[in-house]
Amino acid sequence: MKSKGKIGITSTVPCEVVYGAGYVPIDLNNLFISSDDPFRLAESAESKGIPRNYCAWIKGIYSIVHEMDGLSAVIGMTQGDCANNYALIENFIYEGVPVITFSYPLNRDVEDLNREIRRFCSRLDTDIEKAEDMRLQFKTIRAKLAELDRLTWQEDKATGYENHQWLVASSDLNGEPEKFETMLSDMLDRIGSRTASPPEIRLAYMGVPPIFSDIYDFLEEQGARVVYNEVQHQFSMPYEADGLVAQYLEYTYPYGILTRLKRIKEEVGKRRVDGIVHYVQSFCFHQLEDPVVRGTLDLPVLRIEGDKPGRLDSRTKVRMEAFLETLRDKGKRGV
């Protein structure tokens, strides 16, 4: 079927609805961070009036929307993400960018989400049946993503970066589901044929995807591997669900830190994680969740903060080295 055009998404929404409607969803966050010069995009937004003390992801999305050709509309979240995102959407509406909204009910109520997904379908001139067809088509892709994840934490064959890269891309399946699946199958073959290389230290990474380009490589160089990428894992929706509503109820990110922490606790236990890197973005409300994270998880937590896109700064490197040293000592003492 010929595509009706590209629609930008500012956060993970039911992409099955967008594909079912004949559009191609494009995750604007992924496009921003994988662009040739994400730093320039963030700076460019500031020069156009986005205040300096807004997070770099907001700035990046703002610039991408203004520089990208052929975007039919932007899907913005009105609930389940952040107030910055909401204000960004209002800027787009003011500037004449076509906007379609989606919201996750904060109460995680099945009927409310059902109504919202149906409203979303009708806004895109499609119906729930077509979206469900897409969900069934994507089941094999989601199963393959779950296998890549398993090869990371259970077989020690995939790196933390590979895990991040593939799971984060599942928010829009790179806009080309068939090609995505073919490439993923090839990747699984390659990873599956490797010899296991167990890391000295097993880490969980929680929080929004990193703005740092080299965090996974740095950790691997230090003998540590991220065996659980929390939000990216959620993007991949690896849980068996019997419908679209059930699938997006299982997706924890929009339903608050307490909901997320329940899932995180299960996953870090299963994956034998030694410590947690809690990434927070400068100027992001998620920073306020750090005390809840520390109070809830029974593992050492290192909070790191990133601002503009680029490589790790030396202070963050030193703090991560010290954290890994603590985990090593703890391991030697068998605590």
Alpha-carbon gap, residue 161 to 2, rounded angstroms: 34
Find the part of the chain contacting ligand SF4 (CB under 6 A) among 52-60, 68-76, 116-124, 188-196: 52-60
In the complex with ligand SF4, the residue whose CB is nearer, 20 or 306, is: 306
Instruction: Tell me the closest approach of the beta carbon of residue 125 to ligand SF4, in angstroms.
Output: 28
Alpha carbon separation from 278 to 30, 54, 84 (Å, rounded): 20, 20, 21
Instruction: Tell me the closest approach of the beta carbon of residue 322 to ligand SF4, in angstroms.
Output: 25
Instruction: Tell me the closest approach of the beta carbon of residue 281 to ligand SF4, in angstroms.
Output: 4
Taking a C-beta distance cutoff of 8 angstroms, is the pair 216, 161 a contact?
yes
Q: Which residue has the tokens 């806004």?
A: 123
Q: Which residue has the tokens 């995180």?
A: 264
By CB under 6 A, tell whether 284 contacts ligand SF4.
yes
By CB under 6 A, tell whether 255 contacts ligand SF4.
no
Half-sphere exposure of 246 (CA within 13 A, CB side): 8
Strands (E), the chain: 5-9, 23-27, 71-79, 99-103, 201-206, 224-229, 275-281, 301-306
- Taking alpha carbons only, the member of 174, 172, 125, 103 closest to residue 4 is 125
Q: Pick the binder of ligand SF4 from 44, 63, 85, 234 (CB under 6 A).
A: 85
Q: Pick the binder of ligand SF4 from 114, 163, 222, 281 (CB under 6 A).
A: 281
Q: Pick the binder of ligand SF4 from 55, 131, 191, 293 (CB under 6 A).
A: 55
Alpha-carbon gap, residue 327 to 275, rounded angstroms: 7
By CB under 6 A, tell whether 208 contacts ligand SF4.
yes
DSSP letter, residue 12: -
By CB under 6 A, tell whether 84 contacts ligand SF4.
yes
Q: How many residues bind ligand SF4 (CB under 6 A)?
A: 11
By CB under 6 A, tell whether 244 contacts ligand SF4.
no
Interactions with ligand SF4, residue window 62-81 (CB under 6 A): 81
In the complex with ligand SF4, the residue whose CB is nearer, 81 or 147, is: 81
Interactions with ligand SF4, residue window 101-160 (CB under 6 A): none
Find the part of the chain contacting ligand SF4 (CB under 6 A) among 41-49, 135-143, 178-186, 280-288: 280-288
Phi, psi of 75 (to 5 degrees): -95, 120
Instruction: Tell me the closest approach of the beta carbon of residue 115 to ligand SF4, in angstroms.
Output: 24
By CB under 6 A, tell whether 57 contacts ligand SF4.
yes
Q: What angle do CA 231, 234, 237 make, to 5 degrees?
A: 160
By CB under 6 A, tell whether 58 contacts ligand SF4.
yes
